[in-house]
Structures are given as C-alpha cells and as structure tokens.
Amino acid sequence: MIILSAFGCGLIFGCGLLISGMVQPAKVLAFLDIFGAWDPSLAVVMIAALVVSVPGFVLAKRRERPILAAQCAWPTKIEIDRSLVVGSALFGIGWGLAGLCPGPALENLATLSPRVITFVVAMIAGMALHDLWSKYGPMVTHEETLAAAADG
Amino acid sequence: MTNFTPVSAAIGGALIGLSATLLMLLTGRIAGISGIVGGGLNFVSIDKGWRVAFVAGLLFAPLLASLLGYPMPSPQMPASWAVIIAAGALVGLGTRLGGGCTSGHGICGISRLSTRSFIATAIFMFTAIVVVALTHHVFAG
C-alpha cells in the first residue's frame, strides 16, 4: 500500500508540474528574471501548493501516526548551519543556469532529450560526490549527513 | 519569454500541494525530490521502495498526458554542454548539502513552518535570481 500511495503521489506531483508549466525551464527562468520580462507564474504555483499543504501538514502533525506507516519521518534538524547556507546557494546557482530543479529534471527525462539526460547524470554525480565526501571527507561528520538528508 | 498563466499555475500548484499532503498523511514521508533521489540511490537504504515508486509515478505523468493528447513539450536547455553539466552538478551537490530542493524545502519545509527551510528557500531563490540577472542582462551577448 505504501508503494502504491507513493506511485500515486508521484503521479499527482508530475501532473501538477506539467499543468503548472514548471516542467519548462524557460518558464522557470522567466520567473527568476525579475529585471526582464517577468513571468510570476511560479509564485502562484508555490502559493497554491502551500494553500493546500500548510493545513494538510497541520492535520498530519496532529495525527499520532500516518495512515499506512508506523511512524512519521518528520525532519528533526533545526539549526542553521554552513551546509544549509552553502548548499542552498550552490543549488540556486545551478537552478538559475539551467532552469531545472530535481523534480522537473526527472520528469523531463520522458522527452528523451539528450541535454536533459546529461543534466540528470551530472545531478546524480553531484549527489554522489556529496555522499562520498561526507562519508570519507575530512570535514563533515557522518551524523551531520544523516540529519541533513532528512529535510526533504 | 513566457506569458503569465495564473489559472494553470494555481491548478498545478494545488496538485503539488495535494501530493505532498497525501504522501505525508498516508506514508509519513516528505515529498522532497532531491531527498527521494538521493535516498533511492543509496544502496544500503532499506527505505527505497517508496522512493522508486514515487519517481515512477512522476515519470508516468507525461506518458499519461501524451496518451490523453497533451504531449510534453521539449524543454529549452542551455546551448552549452559545459553549462548543462555544471548546472546539473551544482543542483545535485547543492541540494544534498543543503538538505533539500524546491519541493523539500520550498513546499514541505515551509508547510512544516521550518525556519531552516524558510532560510534555504530564500537563499536559493536569491542566488538563482542573481545568476539569471547576470546571464540575461549583465553578460548577455
């Protein structure tokens, strides 16, 4: 049932990205281009999503446990650390360069565009690089990695 | 240049919010794509099945849409392969280091009223806007 629910949620998520136009990098870049011909659509997407999900999450938090699982994987990390700031800044740079974030990038694989496939391979390599670095690198402790992975 | 499309943006956004809410209510998981992909790749993870299923659903959406007569348009990507590779690597590294992306921090994190996610969202929006301002206006050919 969990697998089926996850598939259904992925499908709804994908339909949302398609209908909203957020699968199109050009539309995302037009939102980010506040000094040019600005397209505020992405702001409407975020507001509409939050109008549904903020009360939804309040409801979920009030329940003792999820309907189909024993417990909730609610992220616990609260401190603002360097990883959060540096990581988010780097993500924004990549997002601004191509107009793709992870969800739309994966969904665009369905177009079989060689450029999208290259982007996704590079993205997965970037993720793997982070995971290898945090496992074997000198700076980050393993505990920190596990906690950081929990935001989403 | 694209046109402002408030109605489809609102419908699509509401579906994204619904998906995140249902996933949390039913399975107790966060619909954060970077976390789902990162965790799905981790070979020792025991919690992998739902992640693979979520991505399968995400990929099924454009197939369903094209069966219904709405094929997904081919995306406009940067001309330079170097920019594509750099952008992809930055998105992968940045989302893992920062613990989330547009969905995990921007939708789910803000819905949880997480300060970390508010800050992350403000930072990635800011750097993305700066990059677009530089590439489209300052260094535009």
ipTM for this model? 0.94
Burial class, A74, CB count within 10 angstroms (exposed 0-12 / middle 13-18 / buried 19+): middle
C-alpha span between B50 and B35 (Å, rounded): 12
C-alpha span between B108 and B38 (Å, rounded): 17
C-alpha span between A140 and A152 (Å, rounded): 19
C-alpha span between B16 and A98 (Å, rounded): 22
Inter-chain residue contact A6 with B23, CB threshold 8 Å:
yes
Inter-chain residue contact A41 with B5, CB threshold 8 Å:
yes
pTM for the whole thing?
Answer: 0.91
Inter-chain residue contact B124 with A91, CB threshold 8 Å:
yes
Determine, yes or no, domain membership for B1.
Answer: no
Domain boundaries of chain A, sorted by first residue: 1-74, 78-152
Task: From first to last of the 141 residues of chain B, give the pLDDT tens digit.
Answer: 689 999 999 999 999 999 999 999 999 899 899 888 887 776 556 678 899 999 999 999 999 999 998 888 889 998 899 999 999 999 999 999 999 999 999 999 999 999 999 999 999 999 999 999 999 998 875
Report the residue of chain B nearest A9, measured CA to CA. B19
State the total domains in chain B: 1
Decide if B120 touches A, using CB distance below 8 A. Answer: yes
- Contacts A–B by Cβ distance under 8 A: 520
Inter-chain residue contact B90 with A113, CB threshold 8 Å:
no
CA dihedral sign, ordered B58, B60, B63, B65: negative
Decide if B58 touches A, using CB distance below 8 A. Answer: yes
Phi, psi of B94 (to 5 degrees): -65, -40
What are the b/e assignments for B34-46, b being 16+ CB within 10 Å? Answer: bbbbbbbebeeee
Determine, yes or no, domain membership for B114.
Answer: yes
Report the residue of chain A nearest B19, measured CA to CA. A9
C-alpha span between A119 and A65 (Å, rounded): 38
Inter-chain residue contact A127 with B37, CB threshold 8 Å:
yes
Residue B134: domain span = 6-138
